[in-house]
Structure 1
């Protein structure tokens, strides 16, 4: 009987690392999901403001206007008519469709107003303008 007590109180020769590996895998998957979930788009030079803030929400649609006036919806080039049709379809699926408008600082103002008119016609009320924080 004393032999059984000795084996129960004997020190462990190895450490069970399975719980640590489980945690590492969960953290790895979380990191991968968060880094790939960022909004994809076209690179533009946004105007700078003092009150720049993050407007990204899940299911937010990004409209980008480049310096030369090209319009993109979620990184895909579209015309104004195509933009109106696609936003109408998205709006029917999500009545509170949030939209972010990202335009180059040197974009013709007319293009921005045309896109805003489309949003107004479709009754898209959640629209944000992307800017960069001004450096002092």
Structure 2
């Protein structure tokens, strides 16, 4: 009978994993290319700057946020909780309540978002943001 040498068995026990790694990387690349990234977005309707609507002067309530964080509702100082209560009271009188949020140029965006959240919790569906008109190109004011 013929005996097998140990060196012959060790050669069969080794497995070349290079093709397996190539296949794994190809599958990884295909997976990365075909998957779409999941993005959490906040849907915002941005107004066009081409036309400017005049602010209606009747039944408009202004929420003003200063850069220091102080808030005012129609020139009366408020905090978030009292703002929400006052807006609910104003909505009882006028179901089509019109709120405009104004902030200084140095107001942190977080303060504006907090006011928008408070107004949303007061079931106010539509909120307006006051902005400054962009100067027309070539026009000197």
Q: Same fold (TM over 0.5)?
A: yes
Aligned to 2:49: 50
What root-mean-square deviation, in Å, do the aligned CA atoms of Structure 1 and Structure 2 show?
A: 1.7
Aligned to 2:59: 59
Higher alpha-carbon Rg? 2
Aligned to 1:89: 89
Aligned to 2:18: none
Runs of 4+ in 1 over 6 A off after TM superposition: none
Alignment of 1:63-78 (within 5 A): 63-78=63-78
Cα deviation 1:43-63 (Å, max 9, x = unaligned)? xxxxxx935432334111110
Residue 111 of structure 1: how far off its partner (Å): 0.6
The gaps in structure 1 that reach 5 residues or longer are 1-48
Aligned pair count reads: 88
Contact 2:85 2:122 in 1 (8 A): no
Contact 2:64 2:102 in 1 (8 A): yes
Q: TM-score, normalised by structure 2?
A: 0.57
Aligned to 1:133: 133
Cα deviation 1:65-87 (Å, max 9, x = unaligned)? 01111100001111111111111
Q: TM-score, normalised by structure 1?
A: 0.59
The gaps in structure 2 that reach 5 residues or longer are 1-47
Contact 1:62 1:102 in 2 (8 A): yes
